[in-house]
Amino acid sequence: MDLTWDEFIVTGDPFILAGQISILFTTVAIIFVLTYFKKWKWLWNEWITSVDHKRIGILYIIAALLMMFRAGVDALMMRTQLAAPNMPFLDAQHYNEIFTTHGTIMILFMAMPFLIGLMNVAVPLQIGARDVAFPFLNNLSFWTFFMGAMLFNVSFVIGGAPDASWSAYMPLASNDLSPGPGQNFYLLGIQISGIGTLATGINLIVTILKMRTKGMKLMRMPMFTWTSLITSLIIIGAFPILTVALAMQTFDRLWGTAFFTLQDGGMPMMWANLFWLWGHPEVYIVILPVFGIFSEIISAFSRKRLFGYTTMVIAVALISGLSFLVWVHHFFTMGAGATVNSFFSVTTMLIAVPTGIKIFNWLSTLYKGRIRFSVPMIWALGFIPNFTIGGVTGVMLAMAAADYQYHNTYFLVSHFHYVLIAGTVFGCFAGFIYWYPKMFGHKLNERIGRWVFWIFMIGFNICFFPQYFLGLDGMPRRIYTYFPEDGWFSLNFLSTVGAFMMGFAFVILIYSVYYSYRYEKRETTGDPWGVGRTLEWATASAVPPHYNFARLPEVESQDAFWEMKQKGVDPNDIDEYHEIHMPNNSGNPFIMSSFMFVAGFGLVFHWWTIAIIGTIGIFACMIQRSFSRDDGHHIPAEEVRETEEKIKEGHMNGY
Amino acid sequence: MNNNETLSQKERHFPWKHVVGFLTSIVLTLVALWIAFFSAFSVRTIVILIFSLAFVQAGLQLLMFMHMAESGSGRIQVGHILFSAFVAIIIALGSYWVMEFGIHLDHHM
């Protein structure tokens, strides 16, 4: 690709210039702080190369919060542009770029990493394991995700952002209609981070199936572990479709093949078909773990066993099967005919059955429970009604005939924000707050937490509820402006106010992280909420030592830790310590992923030399890993004893 | 330990399972061969028959030779294979069914 310098670096837009300057300053500031406080070695040894599942989980969550900030700013810019008719804030091209990056980042680089982060933190602890099955792979998963996400994110300052929406329909995303490197960033960024997701799926399945502690039968597993297992199965089923589809579109764009082109016998609609064959299971990938999180929280803070555990498991399994049978409802209007549309209409409505079962199970768990309204619990209670509104409008959209009216209107936009925010985002926040003491050794401030919940929840409804009516009034999605005669002004303005409330709540949430770090009391027990039912609360200290359990707990029933507490058994009352076998840290994944970034960057601009250098680097890292012998290390029993005694005296907490 | 014992115990018996699997595979292959070269079915029928025989044989080999259902995690293995088959069939047949209307468009011919 022949580019001049002013094409390589995006110029001419004041917002992007501001972005470039702030990126530059932030980078300089981070480098300065790390150098001044001599933290480079610490960063490398303790975090970048760490294979500890809890630390990798924290890295995932930090990255997800960063991405939530970035895509959230995108959302606020969109809402500002739409606040009034004929707004001169953004031009059409810039608006297209922003809704593309907002969607892609929120789904792939915010929701998924946030949930994978929480799984990383909680799942090994919940099943009573010391780490995941493949710790090296876990670190590699994080770094491939991170490098892919960064490759996607630099696009708006270098080369230009993709502008064909997150679904990147062909032929719009082809070279003819989307020239330049933007769409290539989308293809390669997602491709690279997809490697990490797939690896995480494999890792979690093996971990959950093979590394459960003694007595932890499948039907005794905590619900979050169950949903993580089934989510991982969906990942393994669905992500290869995305990998192949992305590779085919990459070939179309870089090497002139004709899989999805208009000319030479290509089938543009096959892209839509393959994209949603992955895309629909994907939305269950980001919602099922959330169901697990809420099941844990509702059961814990109602201080009751989860109602209908078995039906819950069956419902999740059914949803995972059905998730592969509904993808056509994303393009009912493509013209596949009445038989096809009716079939997918029915399968889509069927989804409401297992989901409804789960809603009633949660309500029944609450019934006659001794409910404690802690912050995670109010998120869970906010989730149930808000998510149900999203679900019911989903059933409305599922009717193929009616969908011809709703298709591509704000009604749809509102529907999927009601399920993705009231479901996924509420769940991420709830899980984040619930397991926060597990990660950092202190809770998030309760008073600020309540403010965050109410401002976010009310802002969310003010933002998206009017959009149902905008949709019914005929406002299409993905338009950058409208006229006063359209009559969409008041509802749009209201919606924008709500969006800024959500943005404000996010800022307070981040502030509460800082505030709580300064002022919250440090937890001294492994069960800071006092209502823990599952094994992650059975550790000796709030933040478990890096080997998690000095002695692996034994499980006799569901809700193992609750049973222990009822019987007065202390799982950390240990007479004799044994040595513990743990995996070694490795710098290889970070370097390998960096080469992936280099290779991807080369491909984006058709700079073959750089792409080849990057690829050689990737293979060199793989070879290095294959030929190195790494059996991990043993922590001597004496060291375990010392650590445990320090914990009991309260000397160890937090990172 | 336990697994090793059961394995060596099994090895003492005549490997009926393998013999049956081997013979059935040969028979299935010969039948497929006969259908392809000597039968008078229409091409469509032949293709359907050969494919069905191939799938039967694949399943047979997974069970008889790959010991899919035998280890401690046998049920899980079978579950994974069935789930993968389910997904693969959905992707292939589903895409064909959904996209059929596009395949017969004139510009494609």
Q: What gap in Å lies between CA A306 and CA A533, rounded to an integer?
A: 10
The pLDDT of residue A627: 92
The pLDDT of residue B103: 55
Closest approach of chain B CAs to the CA of A239, in angstroms?
11
CA dist A166 to A103, A178, A531, Å?
5, 14, 41
The torsion angles phi and psi of A476, rounded to 5 degrees, stand at -75, 155
CB A146 within 8 A of CB A108: no
Do the Cβ atoms of B83 and A233 come within 8 Å? yes
CB A638 within 8 A of CB A576: no
Strands A580-582 and A633-635: antiparallel
Q: H or E element: which one contains A635?
A: strand A633-635
In A26-135, at which residue ranges do the beta strands (DSSP E only) sit? none
The pLDDT of residue A651: 61
DSSP string, A142-191: HHHHHHHHHHHHGGGTBT----STTTT-TTTTSTTTS-SSHHHHHHHHHH
A261: nearest CA partner in chain B: B108
Confidence label for A343 from pLDDT (cuts 50, 70 and 90): very high
3-state SS, A424-453, equals HHHHHHHHHHHHHHHHHCECCCHHHHHHHH
Closest approach of chain A CAs to the CA of B99, in angstroms?
7
Q: What gap in Å lies between CA A592 and CA A142, rounded to an integer?
A: 12
What is this model's ipTM? 0.83
Residues of chain A with pLDDT > 90, as a percent, come to: 75
The pLDDT of residue A48: 93
- CB < 8 Å from B in window 268-327 of A: 269-270, 273-274, 277, 321, 324-325, 327
Do the Cβ atoms of B98 and A274 come within 8 Å? no
Closest approach of chain B CAs to the CA of A51, in angstroms?
27
Do the Cβ atoms of A267 and B99 come within 8 Å? yes
Q: What gap in Å lies between CA A100 and CA A160, rounded to an integer?
A: 12
Partners of residue B105 in chain A, C-beta under 8 Å: none
The pLDDT of residue B12: 63
Do the Cβ atoms of A324 and B86 come within 8 Å? yes
**Closest Cβ–Cβ partner in B73, B91, B99 for A269:** B99
Q: Is B104 on the interface with A (CB under 8 A)?
A: no
Is the pLDDT higher at A5 or at A276? A276
Q: Is B108 on the interface with A (CB under 8 A)?
A: yes
Q: What gap in Å lies between CA A221 and CA A230, rounded to an integer?
A: 12
The pLDDT of residue A231: 96
The pLDDT of residue A244: 95
Mean pLDDT across A554-575: 87
A267: nearest CA partner in chain B: B102
DSSP state of A512: H
Mean pLDDT of chain A: 92
Task: Summarize pLDDT for A133-160 with one digit per residue, the tens.
Answer: 999 999 999 999 999 999 999 998 888 8
Task: Pick the range with the lowest mean pLDDT from A16-30, A121-135, A442-456, B95-109.
Answer: B95-109
Alpha-helical regions (H) of A332-445 = 338-366, 375-398, 400-406, 410-419, 426-440
CB A318 within 8 A of CB A293: no
Q: Is B91 on the interface with A (CB under 8 A)?
A: yes
Residues of chain A with pLDDT > 70, as a percent, come to: 98
CB A284 within 8 A of CB A324: no
CA atoms within 13 A on the CB side of A378: 14
Amino acid at A280: H
Angle at A292 between CA B86 and CA A452, to 5 degrees: 135
Task: Summarize pLDDT for A267-323 with one digit per residue, the tens.
Answer: 899 999 999 999 999 999 999 999 999 999 999 999 999 999 999 999 999 999 999
Do the Cβ atoms of A237 and B99 come within 8 Å? no
The pLDDT of residue A292: 95
The pLDDT of residue B2: 45
Q: Is the pLDDT of residue A166 over 80?
A: yes
What residue ranges do the domains of chain B occupy? 14-70, 71-109
Mean pLDDT across A213-233: 94
Q: Is A237 on the interface with B (CB under 8 A)?
A: yes
Closest approach of chain B CAs to the CA of A380, in angstroms?
32
Mean pLDDT across B99-109: 57
Task: Summarize pLDDT for A419-448 with one digit per residue, the tens.
Answer: 999 999 999 999 999 999 999 989 999 999
Q: Is the pLDDT of residue A475 over 60?
A: yes
B91: nearest CA partner in chain A: A277
Pick from A305, A324, A178: which is nearest to A239 by CA? A324
Q: Is the pLDDT of residue B39 over 90?
A: no
B108: nearest CA partner in chain A: A265
The pLDDT of residue A279: 94
Partners of residue A265 in chain B, C-beta under 8 Å: 108
Task: Summarize pLDDT for A639-653 with one digit per residue, the tens.
Answer: 888 888 888 876 655
The pLDDT of residue A375: 95
Quickly count: other Cβ atoms within 10 Å of residue A555's Cβ. Answer: 24
**Closest Cβ–Cβ partner in A267, A324, A336 for B90:** A324
Do the Cβ atoms of B99 and A241 come within 8 Å? no
The pLDDT of residue A442: 92
Task: Summarize pLDDT for A225-257 with one digit per residue, the tens.
Answer: 999 999 999 999 999 999 999 999 999 999 999
Q: Return the biggest CA–CA distance within chain B.
A: 65
Task: Summarize pLDDT for A591-625 with one digit per residue, the tens.
Answer: 999 999 999 999 999 999 999 999 999 999 999 99
The pLDDT of residue B5: 46
Q: Is A256 on the interface with B (CB under 8 A)?
A: no
DSSP string, A475-496: PBTT-S---GGG--HHHHHHHH
b/e string for A470-506 if b means 16 or more Cβ within 10 A?
Answer: bbeeebebeebbbeeeeebeebbebbbebbbbbbebb
The pLDDT of residue A571: 84
- Report residue B53 as tokens: 């025989």
Q: Is B93 on the interface with A (CB under 8 A)?
A: no
Q: Is the pLDDT of residue A263 over 90?
A: no
The pLDDT of residue A114: 96
**Closest Cβ–Cβ partner in A209, A241, A328 for B76:** A209
b/e string for A215-229 if b means 16 or more Cβ within 10 A?
Answer: ebeeebbbbbbbbbb
Do the Cβ atoms of B97 and A340 come within 8 Å? yes
Task: Summarize pLDDT for B55-96 with one digit per residue, the tens.
Answer: 899 888 888 777 766 666 777 888 888 888 899 999 999 998
Q: Is the pLDDT of residue B4 over 50?
A: no
The pLDDT of residue B109: 39
Task: Summarize pLDDT for A198-207 with one digit per residue, the tens.
Answer: 999 999 999 9
Pick from A422, A311, A319, A426: which is nearest to A365 by CA? A311
DSSP string, A304-334: SPPTTHHHHHHHHHHHHHHGGG-GGGGGGGG
The pLDDT of residue A302: 94
- Report residue A608 as tokens: 């073959």
Closest approach of chain A CAs to the CA of B7, in angstroms?
21
Do the Cβ atoms of B95 and A270 come within 8 Å? yes
Confidence label for A50 from pLDDT (cuts 50, 70 and 90): very high
The pLDDT of residue A381: 95
